[in-house]
């Protein structure tokens, strides 16, 4: 640890390179919407008060600048004043884009980016606020699904877990407003606890290259950021109301922001969503209602050189799980799977009955930062999270209304980050982080704990360097080390303890014997190293070639270590192993990007090799009094994922544009030479968008999504004897459903309702043709079709 | 620079505080599974006053790796009527909890089904009813006819469709399923 502190101090004392102060900074300022040049924009360099204006050609020039970083304030009578950091190296050209719309006041963009790059050598995909608003009635997973290389593992429409390049759950790190989400996402039916409406921008990094966030993201990192705040006296807000036909529901979302020229700001946001049972094309999906309530507040002040930011959010949802998916042993599963329609279809209802989930997630964060002149920027952050997860099964007697799982996870994190501006060619990011986490499973459920009591300590430190070798080549290198200590209290069944030979292998961790159970106290340590190395080469004006290698190490999660017993929501016995070590991933990614106005594309092939990959697979069938259950056991193997994501975009004319996406991933267990389970099938998305900014910003799009059948899958089917019919039947958990094609329609139009207010009306129809289909990545595909047609009508008022 | 030092000191200090405090060693309490049915005992009492035939399945570790232990006390006698009754216990608790009472209380949501396998010349009929007049199946009458052998399966379904034509259209979830290979002498 001490070494890292020294490292931090060392970086901050690198001497300045010799100064060369005859550089010019030129550029133009344009309107982000129509690219029109903006005349009379005032640009002022902070501290020096050197000030220039754009001329009739929209061009400004500063002269006699050094090779240094400058803070430039850009202001225009009809736009919002805002400051930017610009790095000047030799004669530099920078263009600014400004935006007029009231609502987008906070989105002044420098070179099209209001949110800075997270990694220099991996192509990031992002979803901006305008696009995010189209998903305001959905989930974070739905929005991410619109990016190439991302699919989702679903349990109905409420639980949508993102899969990045074939990996999900603990292999994906989500950073919500600078806070790493600790929300128990280890299970397949645990979705991220984030309100999509609280986000102003989503960034996706496929792989672990952004080491400043984590070193264990073998799958990828999702960064959720709240809208940026402006330094101006203003009050603005928006309210949207949506009607949802499928589920007969309503969704309301509202945000109001007040900011002052002196840097203070406050932004409050709340959303509410309530739907009842949803429908497949031919029948009702009973008990699939959702009730979600969220709120967030952000306040603080920002100046050019220092600031404080406070953020607090509460996410609370309740969602029903398809009633017909709650079944017991293999004999029941045969009935459920072979039935063409769900076994239970009730009349429409808004009730959310068992099986259901209720999750509350609190997240608080305080961030302070200070620009230390030429030395760089230092920040310090504390964050707190509390996640309470309740799962209700169908129970009997006094336990009927009692949760069968009741977990409370509390996390405190402190971190300090430092970004060096000292050198013009070398940028350094470094930081240290400490985390304390405690999990408390409530024993009052009357069901043995799924996740044991534990306390966990993490300590980490990272350093990343990027350098401009020349004007067209950027190199990046970084390293990170994390230490994790877990102190666990776990009750094992004596029969399991002995069947695993733990009684002879691990007698030292036994605390006491209590009836048929054994209390143990495992203390686990994990030492994880991660690294990244990459380069970006720009050529021929618009082309960029990215190369990145990243090494990620992930400690096993509590579910992989300590599962031991029947997991009701997946109707199988799951067994972990407390002797697991960390899995280590090596990902090579190359991206060729062409960012041309006439035709832009990116091709991103990758290969991800993961040693000691933790996979769960069936090993046995266990006979119980409730019937036969398949036994799934976690084991470590060597896995490899190979794939490619392709994006292309082609404007036919000024108003019409074609967008294309293709993703393919193949995953294999190299030790056993068989495919990995739940790999997203190849899929195509093609979209035609009509957009007319002269006619009330009318936007109409039609999207076709084609999902192939997954032909490579491990065969985990097994045979079971059905005494009632005296036959042997196959329990078909494995066979993927057929390919399908969906059409989605989306439209919106803006109306100016007064000087300061604007109304947007949107109509979206998903699954336009009401196609019956089943999705390989949906856990409920065994029992029911996916959602049918949905009309979504949205009124949004900006003020 | 000063701020730097101060902050790095602060972060180490807080990390230290975290790792030293809250390390209390109070052990968690065990959870005793309340709903598990470990044992089903079926007592068949012959109408001619002979000895009872007892069928039992017992799985003391619930969902654990041990398989249920099935015991059959003896054969049935030909051309004999048996009055049958079923008792369900949770023996993970001490004393054992009688689950039969819960089933009786929630009779509308439960039903036993009897499946006589090929070869066994016997019939089973319900001998009880819930408040809607539909069978529960905790009490039944078993007629053992000619000398034969085969299986008899007892299935308890939770939330079946009631009334129903039999297990084929009953639906619901299986709470218990046990098969006994039995002979009529």
Confidence of residue B12 (pLDDT cuts 50, 70, 90): low
Name residues 98-127 of chain A within 8 A of B (Cβ).
Answer: none
Q: Is residue A506 part of a domain?
A: yes
Nearest C-alpha neighbor of A582 from the set A610, A553, A559: A553
pLDDT digits (tens, 9 = 90+) for A19-39: 567 888 888 887 765 567 777
pLDDT given at position B15: 52
Q: Is residue A156 part of a domain?
A: no
pLDDT > 70? residue A116: no
pLDDT > 70? residue A761: yes
Of the residues B3, B18, B171, the best mutation for testing chain A's interface (the one with the most A CB atoms within 10 Å of its CB) is B18
When divided into structural domains, chain A yields a total of 2
Q: Which residue has the higher pLDDT, A680 or A123?
A: A680
Sequence-ordered alpha helix ranges (H) in A64-135: 129-133
Confidence of residue A660 (pLDDT cuts 50, 70, 90): very high
pLDDT given at position A79: 64
Considering just the CA atoms, what is the radius of gyration of chain A in Å? 27
pLDDT > 90? residue A661: yes
- Which residues of B are less than 8 Å from A445 in CB distance? 31
- Which residues of B are less than 8 Å from A565 in CB distance? 63-64
Q: Is residue A190 part of a domain?
A: no
- Report the DSSP pairing between strands A473-493 and A453-470: antiparallel
Q: Do residues A625 and A758 both lie within one domain?
A: yes
Q: Which residue has the higher pLDDT, A116 or A255?
A: A255
pLDDT given at position A650: 93
Q: Is residue A595 part of a domain?
A: yes
Q: Is residue A91 part of a domain?
A: yes
pLDDT digits (tens, 9 = 90+) for A43-75: 888 777 788 888 777 788 888 888 888 888 887
- The nearest CA of chain A is from the CA of B83 a distance in Å of 22
Q: Is residue B106 part of a domain?
A: yes
Q: Collapse the DSSP code of A133 into the 3-class scheme (helix H, G, I; strand E, B; otherwise coil) and give the result.
A: helix
pLDDT given at position A32: 62
Confidence of residue A1 (pLDDT cuts 50, 70, 90): very low
What mean pLDDT is predicted for residues B80-92?
94
**Mean pLDDT highest for which of A444-453, A627-636, A738-747?**
A738-747
- The nearest CA of chain B is from the CA of A276 a distance in Å of 22
- Which residues of B are less than 8 Å from A499 in CB distance? 65
pLDDT given at position A102: 33
Q: Is residue B34 part of a domain?
A: no
Which residue range is the domain that position B55 belongs to? 39-184
The model's pTM: 0.85
- Least confident segment among A67-76, A360-369, B176-185: A67-76
pLDDT given at position B25: 56
Q: Is residue B64 part of a domain?
A: yes
Cβ contact, residue pair A724, B31, below 8 Å: no
Q: Is residue A326 part of a domain?
A: yes
pLDDT digits (tens, 9 = 90+) for A150-209: 999 888 778 899 999 999 989 999 999 999 999 887 777 888 999 999 998 899 999 888
Q: Is residue A215 part of a domain?
A: no
pLDDT given at position A111: 30
Kindly state whether A454 is in contact with chain B, defined as any CB-CB distance less than 8 angstroms: no
What mean pLDDT is predicted for residues A570-587?
91
* A47/A41 Cα distance (integer angstroms): 19
Tell me the two tokens of residue A481.
């080390």
When divided into structural domains, chain B yields a total of 1
Cβ contact, residue pair A726, B38, below 8 Å: no
Contact A321, A249 (CB under 8 A): no
Kindly state whether A483 is in contact with chain B, defined as any CB-CB distance less than 8 angstroms: no
Cβ contact, residue pair B171, A344, below 8 Å: yes
Name residues 427-446 of chain A within 8 A of B (Cβ).
Answer: 432, 434, 436, 438, 443, 445-446
Domain boundary among A100, A131, A157: A100
* A422/A465 Cα distance (integer angstroms): 12
Confidence of residue A596 (pLDDT cuts 50, 70, 90): confident
CA atoms within 13 A on the CB side of A32: 18
Nearest to A496 among B3, B65, B113 (CB): B65
Annotate A448-478 with DSSP letters as a single string. Answer: --SS-EEEEEEEEEEEEEEEEEETTEEEEEE
Nearest to A726 among B59, B65, B118 (CB): B118
Domain boundary among A72, A100, A128: A100
Nearest to A436 among B18, B37, B92 (CB): B18
Query: ipTM exceeding 0.95?
Result: no
pLDDT given at position A19: 52
Confidence of residue A104 (pLDDT cuts 50, 70, 90): very low
Cβ contact, residue pair B174, A329, below 8 Å: yes
Residues present in chain B in total: 185
pLDDT digits (tens, 9 = 90+) for A128-156: 888 888 888 888 988 998 899 999 988 87
Q: What is the CATH number of the domain that holds A24?
A: 2.60.40.1120
Of the residues B25, B175, B177, B179, the best mutation for testing chain A's interface (the one with the most A CB atoms within 10 Å of its CB) is B177
pLDDT digits (tens, 9 = 90+) for A381-399: 999 999 999 999 888 877 8
- Least confident segment among A24-33, A347-356, A433-442, B77-86: A24-33
Contact A100, A78 (CB under 8 A): yes
Q: Which residue has the higher pLDDT, A394 or B45?
A: B45
Which residue range is the domain that position A571 belongs to? 221-798
Q: Which residue has the higher pLDDT, A652 or A158?
A: A652
Q: What is the CATH number of the domain that holds A574?
A: 2.40.170.20
Domain boundary among A75, A100, A125: A100
Q: Is residue A370 part of a domain?
A: yes
Q: Which residue has the higher pLDDT, A26 or A681?
A: A681
**For B93, phi and psi rounded to 5 degrees?**
-95, 155
**Mean pLDDT in chain A?**
88
């Amino acid at each position: 640890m001490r070494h890292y502190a020294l490292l931090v101090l060392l970086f901050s004392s690198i001497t300045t390179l010799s100064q060369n102060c005859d550089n010019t900074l030129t550029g133009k300022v344009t309107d982000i919407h129509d690219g029109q040049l903006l005349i009379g924009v005032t640009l002022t360099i902070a501290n020096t008060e050197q000030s220039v204006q754009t001329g009739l050609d929209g061009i400004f020039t500063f002269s006699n600048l050094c090779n240094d970083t400058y803070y430039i304030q850009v202001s225009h009578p009809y736009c919002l004043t805002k400051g930017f950091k610009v790095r000047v190296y030799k004669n530099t050209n920078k263009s600014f884009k400004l935006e007029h719309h009231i609502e987008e006041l906070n989105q002044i963009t420098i070179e099209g980016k209001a949110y800075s790059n997270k990694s220099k050598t991996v192509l990031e995909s992002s979803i901006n606020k305008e696009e995010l608003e189209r998903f305001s009635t959905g989930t974070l997973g739905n929005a991410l699904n619109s990016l190439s290389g991302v699919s989702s593992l679903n349990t109905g429409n409420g639980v949508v877990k993102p899969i990045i390049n074939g990996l999900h759950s603990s292999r994906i790190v989500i950073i919500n407003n600078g806070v790493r989400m600790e929300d128990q996402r280890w299970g397949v039916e645990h979705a991220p606890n984030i309100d999509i409406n609280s986000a102003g921008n989503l960034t996706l990094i496929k792989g672990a290259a952004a080491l400043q966030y984590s070193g264990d993201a073998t799958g990828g990192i999702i960064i959720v950021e709240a809208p940026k705040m402006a330094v101006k006296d203003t009050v603005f807000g928006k309210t949207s109301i949506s009607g949802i036909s499928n589920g007969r529901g309503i969704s309301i979302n509202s945000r109001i922001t007040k900011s002052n020229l002196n840097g203070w700001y406050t932004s409050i946001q709340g959303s509410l969503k309530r739907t009842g049972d949803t429908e497949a094309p031919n029948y009702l999906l009973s008990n699939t209602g959702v009730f979600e309530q969220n709120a967030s507040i952000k306040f603080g002040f920002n100046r050019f050189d220092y600031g404080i930011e406070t953020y607090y959010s509460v996410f609370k949802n309740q969602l029903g799980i398809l009633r017909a998916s709650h079944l017991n042993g293999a004999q029941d599963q045969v009935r459920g799977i072979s039935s063409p329609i769900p076994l239970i279809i009730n009349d429409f209802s808004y009730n959310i009955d068992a099986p259901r989930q209720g999750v509350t997630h609190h997240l608080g964060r305080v961030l302070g930062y200070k620009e230390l002149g030429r030395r760089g920027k230092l920040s310090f952050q504390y964050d707190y999270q509390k996640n309470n997860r309740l799962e209700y099964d169908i129970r009997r007697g006094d336990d009927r209304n009692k949760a069968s799982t009741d977990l409370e996870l509390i996390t405190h994190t402190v971190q300090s980050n430092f970004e060096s501006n000292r050198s013009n060619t070398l940028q350094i990011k470094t930081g240290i982080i400490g985390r304390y986490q405690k999990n408390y499973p409530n024993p009052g459920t009357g069901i043995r704990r799924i996740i044991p009591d534990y306390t966990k300590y993490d300590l980490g430190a990272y350093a990343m360097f990027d350098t401009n070798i020349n004007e067209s080549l950027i190199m990046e290198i970084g390293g990170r080390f994390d230490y994790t200590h877990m102190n666990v209290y776990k009750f094992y069944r004596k029969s399991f303890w002995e069947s695993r030979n733990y009684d002879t292998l691990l007698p030292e961790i036994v605390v006491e014997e209590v009836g048929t159970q054994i209390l143990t106290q495992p203390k686990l340590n994990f030492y994880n190293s991660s690294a990244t190395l990459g380069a970006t080469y720009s050529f021929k004006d618009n082309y960029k070639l990215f190369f990145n290698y990243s090494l990620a190490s992930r400690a096993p999660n509590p579910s992989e270590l300590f599962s031991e017993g029947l997991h009701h929501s997946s109707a199988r016995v799951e067994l972990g192993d407390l002797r697991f070590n960390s899995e280590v991933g090596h990902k090579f990614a190359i991206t060729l990007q062409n960012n041309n106005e006439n035709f832009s594309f990116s091709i991103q092939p990758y290969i991800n090799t993961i040693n000691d990959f933790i996979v769960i697979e069936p090993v046995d069938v266990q006979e119980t009094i409730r019937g036969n259950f398949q036994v799934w056991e976690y084991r470590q193997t060597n896995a490899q994922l190979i794939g490619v994501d392709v994006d292309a975009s082609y404007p036919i004319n000024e108003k019409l544009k074609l967008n294309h996406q293709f993703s393919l991933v193949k995953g294999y267990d190299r030790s056993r030479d068989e495919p990995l389970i739940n790999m997203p099938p190849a899929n195509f998305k093609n979209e035609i968008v009509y957009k007319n900014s002269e006619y009330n910003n009318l936007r109409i799009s039609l999207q076709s999504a084609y999902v192939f059948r997954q032909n490579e899958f491990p065969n985990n089917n097994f045979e079971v004897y059905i005494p009632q019919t005296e036959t042997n039947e196959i329990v078909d958990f494995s066979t993927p459903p057929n390919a399908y094609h969906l059409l989605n329609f989306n439209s919106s139009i803006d109306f100016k309702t007064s000087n300061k207010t604007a109304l947007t009306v949107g109509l979206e129809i998903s699954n336009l043709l009401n196609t019956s289909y089943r999705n390989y990545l949906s856990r409920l595909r065994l029992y029911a079709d996916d959602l049918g047609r949905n009309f979504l009508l949205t009124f949004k008022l900006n003020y | 620079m000063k701020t730097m030092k101060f902050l790095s000191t602060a972060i180490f200090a807080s990390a230290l505080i975290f790792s030293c405090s809250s390390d209390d060693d109070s052990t968690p309490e065990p959870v005793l599974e309340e709903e598990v049915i470990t044992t089903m005992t079926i007592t068949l009492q012959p109408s001619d006053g002979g000895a009872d035939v007892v069928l039992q399945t017992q799985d003391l570790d619930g969902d654990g790796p041990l398989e249920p232990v099935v015991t059959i006390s003896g054969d049935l006698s030909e051309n004999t009527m048996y009055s049958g009754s079923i008792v369900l216990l949770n023996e993970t608790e001490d004393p054992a909890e009688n689950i039969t009472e819960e089933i009786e209380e929630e009779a509308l949501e439960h039903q036993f089904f009897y499946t006589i396998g090929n070869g066994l010349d016997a019939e089973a009929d319900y001998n009880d009813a819930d408040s809607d007049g539909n069978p529960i199946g905790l009490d039944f009458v078993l007629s053992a006819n000619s000398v034969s052998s085969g299986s008899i399966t007892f299935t308890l379904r939770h939330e079946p469709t009631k009334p129903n034509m039999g297990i084929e259209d009953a639906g619901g979830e299986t709470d218990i399923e046990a098969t006994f290979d039995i002979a009529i002498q």
